[in-house]
Amino acid sequence: MDHAATTPVDPEVVAAMLPYLNGEASFGNPSSIHRFGREARAALDAAREKVAALLNAEFSEVYFTGSGTEADNLAILGTLRAAPPERNHFVTTAIEHHAVLHCARFLQTQGYTVTIVPVDSQGLVSPDDVARAITDRTALVSVMHASNEIGTIQPIREIARIAHERGALFHTDAVQTAGMLPVDVRALECDLLSLCAHKMYGPKGAGALFIRQGLKVAPILHGGTQEREKRAGTENLPALVGFGRAAELARERRAADATRMEALRDRFIAALRDAAPGVHLNGHPRLRLPNNVNVSVEGVEGPTLLMNLDLRGVAASSGSACSSGSIEPSHVLRAIGLPDDLAASGVRFTLGRGTTGAECAQVAAIFGEIVAHLRR
C-alpha cells in the first residue's frame, strides 16, 4: 500500500534489462565507437524513443538523468542559470516535493528570489495566485502535476499558459503521474517535465527530463558530453533500457489500470471511514491520483499507526518516504491548513497495478482494529 514511494519492477522490465546486465545483449558504453558501444547506443536510443512516445515528445527532447530528483534539479537550477541576468525569480508552490523545494531554498542562497505560492484546503494551486506571483523578472514557474502525498491534480495547462503570457518558462514534476495519468507535454503546454522509472514499475536510479526543443538549460554536472552536454556521466544502460520498457508498458496499460484503481480507491476510502470514526480524507475528493488515499485519523499519531500497520504486514506511509522517520508533520498537510493534531495523524495508502479489492478490504479491517486499540 505504498506504491507512491516506489513500485515493484515489472517482470517484463526485468526481462528487458537482464541482457544488458549479463552482457548477452551488450555491456558496452554508449559513447564507445566500437561494436559493443554501438550496440549499447542503439539500446539507449530505443529507450529514449519509448520514453518520448509516452510523453508525446520528440526523441531529442528527452534527457536521461539518474533520478526524478536530478531531473527536477536540472530543470530548475539549469533553467535559472541559463536565464538572462534580469530574469532571476523562481515561482513554485508550498506542496512540492523536496526535490523542488530544496532547489528553491538553494537558489535563495545564490542570490535568486523565490516566491512560494500557497494552496487551498484541498491542495489545489490557484492559477490566479500564480499569476499574482509572476513578475517581469520571473524565469521559471514550477508546479507539480499531482501531489505525491495527497494526490491532488493541478490545473497544469492553465498555469503553463499564465507563465507563458508573462514570458516565463513552465516546469512540472510529473514523477507521480507518468504512467498514471496522460502525460502529454504538448497538451500540458509545459517547457520542462520530470519523471522517473521507479514509480512506474521500472528500476530505481533512472529518470528523465523533457526539455522543449531549443530551450536553454545549463548543465548541473560537468564532465563528458553525454546527453547532448546536458548531463555528463556514463548512462546507466540496464536501468534506462528498463525505463524504456516500463514506459512502453505504461502506454499499453495506463488507462485500464487507472480506471480499475479509481474504483478500488473510492471503495477503500469508504471502507476506511466505515472501519473507524473520525477519519478525514486529505486532498481533493475528485481531482486526485487514481491510486492515492491520504487520511488523518482523529486522536491517533500517524507514526504509531504506521508501526502497528507494519507489524500486521501493511506497508503504508506518513507522507513522502523521504521525510518519514522525521517527527515533523508533513509540509503538505501543513500547507493545506490542517491543525497540528490532524497533520500529525496523516497516513498515506497508495495502490498499485497488483493491488486487489480483497487486499484493500483486509487492510481496512486491520486499520479499524488498530485505530480502536490505539484509542482505548
Ligand X SMILES: Cc1ncc(COP(=O)(O)O)c(C=O)c1O
* Closer CB to ligand X, 322 or 372, in the complex: 322
For the CB of residue 61, give the shortest distance to ligand X in the complex, in Å. 20
322 is catalytic: yes
The answer to whether residue 148 forms part of the interface with ligand X (CB under 6 A) is yes
The answer to whether residue 283 forms part of the interface with ligand X (CB under 6 A) is no
Distances (CA, A) of 46 to 43, 51, 316: 5, 9, 35
Cβ atoms of residues 120 and 96 within 8 Å: no
For the CB of residue 193, give the shortest distance to ligand X in the complex, in Å. 11
At CA 269, angle to CA 268 and CA 274, rounded to 5?
Answer: 95
Number of residues that bind ligand X (CB under 6 A): 15
The three grid cell numbers given for residue 332, joined into one nine-digit string: 503538505
Closest CB to ligand X belongs to which residue? 68
The answer to whether residue 151 forms part of the interface with ligand X (CB under 6 A) is no
Nearest-angstrom CA–CA distance, 267 and 306: 21
* Closer CB to ligand X, 154 or 355, in the complex: 154
Cβ atoms of residues 65 and 199 within 8 Å: no
* Closer CB to ligand X, 29 or 122, in the complex: 122
For the CB of residue 149, give the shortest distance to ligand X in the complex, in Å. 8
* Site map 186..225 versus ligand X, x via CB under 6 A: ----------x-x--------x------------------
The three grid cell numbers given for residue 367, joined into one nine-digit string: 486499520
Report the side by side order of strands in the sheet with 169-173.
62-65, 207-211, 192-196, 169-173, 138-142, 89-93, 113-117
List 175, 181, 247, 258, residue binding ligand X (CB under 6 A): 175
At CA 200, angle to CA 198 and CA 202, rounded to 5?
Answer: 50
The answer to whether residue 144 forms part of the interface with ligand X (CB under 6 A) is yes
Catalytic residue among 103, 190, 196, 322: 322
* Closer CB to ligand X, 30 or 66, in the complex: 66
Note the helical H segments in the chain. Answer: 11-21, 35-55, 68-82, 98-109, 127-133, 156-165, 185-188, 226-229, 237-275, 302-311, 331-335, 340-343, 357-375
Cβ atoms of residues 139 and 114 within 8 Å: no
Stretch that binds ligand X, among 44-52, 68-76, 230-238, 299-307 (CB under 6 A): 68-76
The answer to whether residue 68 forms part of the interface with ligand X (CB under 6 A) is yes
* Site map 97..126 versus ligand X, x via CB under 6 A: x-x---------------------------
SS3 for 249? helix
The answer to whether residue 320 forms part of the interface with ligand X (CB under 6 A) is yes
List 26, 92, 142, 176, residue binding ligand X (CB under 6 A): 176
Residue type (1 letter), 102: H
The answer to whether residue 173 forms part of the interface with ligand X (CB under 6 A) is yes
List 16, 30, 63, 69, residue binding ligand X (CB under 6 A): 69
Residue type (1 letter), 324: S
At CA 148, angle to CA 123 and CA 331, rounded to 5?
Answer: 60
By CB under 6 A, name the binding residues for ligand X: 67-69, 72, 97, 99, 144, 148, 173, 175-176, 196, 198, 207, 320
Residues with active-site annotation: 322
